[in-house]
Amino acid sequence: MKILPRLIAGLVLLFCVPAHAIVGGGTPSTDGVARSVVTIVGSRGNFCTGALIAPQLVLTAAHCVPAGADYKIVEYGADRQPSLQDVKAVAIHPGFNMQAMEAHRATADVALLQLKASPKGKMTAAVSMPSIPITVGSRFTIAGIGVTVRGDGKSGGTIRVAGLVATGRPGTLQIRLVDPVGQGVREGLGACTGDSGAPVFEDKQSGPAVVGVVSWSTGPNGTAGCGGMTGVTPLTLYRDWIVQTAAKWGMGL
């Protein structure tokens, strides 16, 4: 796609301005699970998070990559200046429903990006499914590049990691996560703008694995915003589609 100069300028601002804590706190990281995290930008000005799950394959949320736009992956040079790398193809799960996602209802909010080249300095993450049964209090880790201050795009672009716990009635269709201290009632850790599509990790015997993607967030007590609840689409029903789509593109998982 043709990248306008103002988009490049915006990316320089977005990814070079240091950020403080994410909503309620959060740890900047370039190691561990953060090494699989990538930034996705669209020609319509949106940005999301994804996870590298094969050398040229990124997992993200379906609502991050709607049809009618072009998408790129942000890479960094030795001087930490951002550059844009091509996305070869996009696959959205056929069961995805945007209206359901916007209403915070369960849907197949899962998509894959086929890259033209492997991102530099990244490691692939294993893809799995949440341990069953998922119980209230089960621990998960999210890693994303979203903003730390709602409405301030300059506060995004840094990979941050947060530990959250399951609440409500977690299951195979949707998992709702909250800060273990704030419990969704007081402002705390949680996904925000730009964290959509972020990988949700669970510790496995073989190490951390991606078991879901971030779909939506709320402020405390279900208000609009961030720092309250983080809605996750688990991969339980969708891992087979991910594996099959990757195979069609000549990639194994």
CB atoms within 10 A of CB 88: 11
Res 152: pLDDT: 65
Produce one character per residue of 1-10: b if its CB has 16 or more CB atoms within 10 Å, e if not.
eeeeeebeeb
Residue from 73, 63, 13 nearest 197 by CA: 63
Q: CA 159 to CA 128: how far, in whole Å? A: 22
Res 89: pLDDT: 97
State mean pLDDT over 188-199: 92
User: Best-predicted range by mean pLDDT among 19-28, 58-67, 80-89, 149-158?
Assistant: 58-67
- Phi, psi (deg, nearest 5) at residue 206: -85, -5
The answer on pLDDT for 8 being more than 90 is: no
The answer on pLDDT for 16 being more than 90 is: no
Model confidence at 23, pLDDT cuts 50, 70, 90, reads very low
Q: CA 240 to CA 108: how far, in whole Å? A: 12
Q: How far is CA 65 from the centre of its chain?
A: 12
Q: CA 80 to CA 147: how far, in whole Å? A: 19
State mean pLDDT over 16-36: 57
H-only helix segments in 58-166:
98-102
Q: What pLDDT, in 10s, does the model give residues 139-189?
A: 999 999 988 777 766 767 788 999 999 999 999 999 999 999 889 888 888
CATH architecture of 127-234: Beta Barrel (2.40)
Contact 21, 190 (CB under 8 A): no
- Phi, psi (deg, nearest 5) at residue 213: -130, 150
Res 26: pLDDT: 57
Q: What pLDDT, in 10s, does the model give residues 82-123?
A: 889 999 999 999 999 999 999 999 999 999 999 999 998 899
Q: Please report, for the chain, the start and end positions of each structural domain, with discontinuous segments joined by +.
A: 5-17+37-124+238-248, 127-234
Model confidence at 11, pLDDT cuts 50, 70, 90, reads very low
Contact 145, 157 (CB under 8 A): yes
Model confidence at 60, pLDDT cuts 50, 70, 90, reads very high
Task: Retrieve residue 64's tokens.
Answer: 């991050």
Q: Which residue has the tokens 């740890």?
A: 27
The answer on pLDDT for 247 being more than 70 is: yes
- The answer regarding whether domain 5-17+37-124+238-248 maps to CATH 2.40.10.10 reads yes
**Distances 60 to 25, 118, 182 between C-alpha atoms, Å:** 23, 16, 27
CB atoms within 10 A of CB 249: 14
Q: Do domains 5-17+37-124+238-248 and 127-234 have the same CATH topology?
A: yes
- Phi, psi (deg, nearest 5) at residue 154: -70, -15
Res 75: pLDDT: 84
The answer on pLDDT for 17 being more than 60 is: no
Q: CA 196 to CA 63: how far, in whole Å? A: 8
Contact 58, 71 (CB under 8 A): no
Task: Retrieve residue 240's tokens.
Answer: 């087979």
